[in-house]
Chain A
């Protein structure tokens, strides 16, 4: 009698479809994580708030009652307190604060995710390479990463934006490049834990090329920390971009950006005009909190 394994070797039986089973397992695990995620109250609360801002970003411009960029007639009603015709009042130029806050979601929700995505892709590539090859490349890159981390994020971005000039494209590139070393460090740590496992050895013994092993074998297995890192960095990206706009080196006026609105109006708080500053401030705060709630939920379920 031959065992099933021997029958396979003798060609009497087809090779069992192991890869598909592995895929099925991965799919079940993913479904299980999603199910856990949808039961996490922190994630759901975060997602609910976040979706309001996504709605504002997509449809805001179409539904707001006034032109967020203002009209010549506005100048007559500057700094009106909140009322039924202007829910959030009007700013120093008489523009409707409610319309500006709603439409302001669009800039931050395009620039911040784009910058974070760029940083994640660069960082993941860097982390995979240094973690996989170790050795001199690793040492050199990690020293450079250390040096990058010695400069506060906002200041590094500030210097680069002064040199390159502010525009949405440069903000995305600058924040992305500044994030890359930080993300690389996390990805590298995850890769170090994977690189000596059996499946990596097996791939190497099959004589696969290094890029294949890195991107097709290791990458899918370190996706969970990368996703968590992405959501955490997204919060920081909003932090950094809002701060840069506030300092005048990010999104430029008259765009209805929240940081720009606070920059334009915080001077008049002491005169009792708190509304043009408070509402964009609350918008920034609730957006970053919603992202933090979501990333807290994701990191809990992916553990």
Chain B
């Protein structure tokens, strides 16, 4: 276990390092002249030079990268150009808000997705399976913002039962906050449902085909007991572990959702930073998103390997 853990951690660190290079290249190299990109084509050359001096973007590339990395490692992410505040002050509150929204979405979608997947698997190839599989696949493929505008029409305009902004009034209690977050969370649920249902379906079908399931049936256990004790127990744990890998995808979806529902989470922060060409803020926010994803997948892998020791063996062999 120790070796597996170390190896997995090492790989995550390498990935993280590469991730930082990719983000740096995208945000600091692609624009060419960062000062010019921020100020636009009509700005005075002196103003551009001054801004480059201020941002440090006139230094050699490698120095800029090392400087940024040193900042990241010491917790100093620099100042946001557009908001004139330290990046950390903007990032952490936004991350907390997004975490609330994402948590609510997960709490709704994981049970529904697993239930749908298992229900489909039990009728593999039949009508119910086709409806759930194709319905899930279609729901997943429709962009969140399309779901969002349709949900706002249905629940906000025609039924008039739910608030169409996500931000609860200051000092609102827990249930009011949940009520405000319900519509945006539902949009994420639609997009995630298909993926989770597909994983649960595949896992259940595999478990249904397994020898131990046949043995359980042959020794005369009732169908209900076989499914609960033998099939579900084997099929759901990997599904739950894989769900964690959807965290990154979820954050991507938050950009449009938070914009529509006017919620200042990390998605809206990234959007504003992109709109204002605030490269220091954009870089750090995207890096944080990547780190959240890597941590989530690392935890998922560890959880999976605790549940299923065979994974540890194959991983240390390869």
A contact residues vs B (CB 8 Å cutoff): 42, 143-144, 146-156, 158-160, 162-164, 235-236, 239, 242-243, 246-249, 259, 262, 266, 269-270, 272, 274, 277-278, 281, 284-285, 288-289, 291-293, 296
Contact = CB atoms under 8 A, between A and B. Distances in A.
B18 A144 contact: yes
A266 B146 contact: no
A296 B249 CA distance: 22
B149 A277 contact: yes
B142 interface: yes
B232 interface: no
Nearest to B146: A281
B134 A293 contact: yes
User: Mostly helix, strand, loop or mixed at chain A's interface?
Assistant: helix
A244 B289 CA distance: 18
Interface string B274-296: 11010000100010011001100
Contacts of B221: none
Contacts of A274: 153, 157
Contacts of B153: 269, 274, 277-278
A151 B157 contact: no
Nearest to B249: A152
19 contacts: A146-B11, A150-B293, A151-B248, A152-B252, A153-B252, A155-B255, A159-B286, A162-B27, A236-B141, A243-B256, A246-B143, A247-B271, A262-B145, A269-B153, A277-B149, A281-B150, A284-B142, A284-B146, A292-B138
B26 interface: yes
A164 B30 contact: yes
User: Mostly helix, strand, loop or mixed at chain B's interface?
Assistant: helix
Contacts of B255: 154-155, 158, 243, 247
Interface of B: 11, 14-16, 18-19, 21-23, 26-27, 30-31, 37, 130, 133-134, 137-138, 141-146, 149-150, 152-153, 156-157, 164, 248-249, 251-253, 255-256, 259-260, 270-271, 274-275, 277, 282, 286, 289-290, 293-294
Nearest to A275: B153
A147 B260 CA distance: 29
Contacts of A277: 149, 153
B289 A152 contact: yes
A42 B134 contact: yes
A155 B293 CA distance: 13
B275 A248 contact: yes
